[in-house]
């Protein structure tokens, strides 16, 4: 696939506005009420193996709302060969849903055919860059479309890493023409856990290749932050969102909420706060410091995959 053509098509993607994650808890509400949400993001794995009600619901929703497909199992950083069976199902779902774009993460999820169902961090150096870019090109060729990759939330860095994550992401876009999903909360979480400047991170990204942002809530545990997606967005993350909004010129924005999911209207209301943070002047009004939330034992990293969440709750 032509890298320049990929870059061009990424830059021509329109901004559909403010979106919500499609969760089974809200299926009936959405189908019956048709709430005024700009678009929905669906977790690809929740639908690609399902021919039953979830797929039927998704088809109906895709008829009325723009949809983006967000995957958690491509495992672009793994040393396993790309899973062609997975890509085949992903491509078939995309053909059916006609998403605005298809995204996954800069991570690996398993090796030797095992899937940990977790987004594991990759070593960031020249060798891994070439490895990952070759795999992105292979995946994009198979999918016949440029893909979009999200910066992960991380809890450690590797001694073998020699490239900053923001540079790694930029090189990825240059070598493959892929787009970027800038998770502002992930930048905040990783910057705290790994001691870097989140403002510098966002400033250094190739802003024209950013097609989407994520915002989310997290659990501050004092010495570290866990990316829980189970609560409201903190003001420091809104500040970074404001910065990213100015630098990107405004792109599709999605509020992730995967645990303790609120009622639909409350979820939507939290998303719509983003409007307050789009104005450049808003930065000047964002004063004050965060109130640290108390530590809650038993919390876990977020996981948006419905079948896994259900099995863990049993």
Q: Which residues bind Fe ion (CB under 5 A)?
A: 183, 214
CB of 77 to Fe ion, least distance (A): 16
The nearer residue to Fe ion, 214 or 232, going by C-beta atoms, is 214
> CB atoms < 10 A from the CB of 66, how many?
18
CB of 218 to Fe ion, least distance (A): 11
Please check whether residue 58 is in contact with residue 47, taking contact to mean a CB–CB distance below 8 angstroms: yes
Please check whether residue 86 is in contact with residue 137, taking contact to mean a CB–CB distance below 8 angstroms: no
How far is 251 from 248, CA to CA, in rounded Å? 7
The nearer residue to Fe ion, 137 or 165, going by C-beta atoms, is 165
CB of 160 to Fe ion, least distance (A): 25
CB of 89 to Fe ion, least distance (A): 22
The nearer residue to Fe ion, 214 or 220, going by C-beta atoms, is 214
The nearer residue to Fe ion, 183 or 270, going by C-beta atoms, is 183
The nearer residue to Fe ion, 94 or 255, going by C-beta atoms, is 255
The nearer residue to Fe ion, 176 or 258, going by C-beta atoms, is 258
CB of 229 to Fe ion, least distance (A): 8
Please check whether residue 299 is in contact with residue 219, taking contact to mean a CB–CB distance below 8 angstroms: yes
The nearer residue to Fe ion, 145 or 229, going by C-beta atoms, is 229
CB of 159 to Fe ion, least distance (A): 26
Please check whether residue 139 is in contact with residue 99, taking contact to mean a CB–CB distance below 8 angstroms: no
CB of 256 to Fe ion, least distance (A): 5
């Amino acid at each position: 696939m032509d890298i320049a053509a990929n870059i061009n098509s990424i830059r021509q993607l329109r901004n559909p506005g403010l979106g919500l994650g499609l969760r089974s808890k809200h299926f009936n509400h959405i189908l019956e009420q048709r709430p005024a949400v700009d678009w929905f993001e669906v977790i690809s794995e929740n639908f690609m193996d399902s021919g039953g009600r979830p797929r039927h619901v998704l088809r109906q929703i895709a008829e009325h709302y723009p949809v983006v497909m967000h995957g958690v199992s491509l495992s672009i950083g793994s040393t396993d060969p790309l899973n062609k069976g997975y890509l085949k199902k992903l491509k078939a779902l995309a053909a059916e849903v006609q998403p605005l774009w298809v995204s996954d993460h800069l991570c690996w999820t398993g090796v030797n055919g095992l899937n940990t169902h977790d987004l594991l961090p990759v070593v960031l150096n020249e060798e891994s860059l070439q490895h990952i870019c070759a795999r992105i090109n292979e995946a994009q060729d198979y999918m016949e479309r440029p893909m979009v990759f999200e910066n992960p939330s991380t809890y450690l860095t590797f001694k073998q890493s020699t490239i900053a994550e923001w540079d790694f992401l930029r090189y990825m876009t240059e070598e493959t023409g892929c787009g970027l999903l800038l998770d502002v909360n992930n930048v905040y979480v990783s910057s705290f856990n790994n001691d870097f400047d989140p403002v510098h991170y966002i400033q250094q990204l190739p802003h024209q290749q950013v097609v989407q942002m994520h915002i989310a809530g997290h659990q501050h545990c004092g010495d570290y932050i866990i990316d829980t997606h189970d609560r409201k967005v903190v003001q420091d993350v809104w500040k970074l969102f404001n910065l990213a909004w100015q630098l990107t010129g405004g792109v599709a924005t999605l509020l992730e909420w995967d645990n303790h999911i609120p009622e639909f209207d409350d979820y939507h209301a939290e998303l719509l706060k983003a409007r307050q943070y789009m104005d450049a002047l808003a930065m000047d009004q964002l004063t004050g410091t965060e109130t640290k939330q108390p530590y809650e034992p038993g919390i876990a990293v977020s996981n948006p995959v419905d079948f896994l969440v259900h099995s863990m709750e049993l």
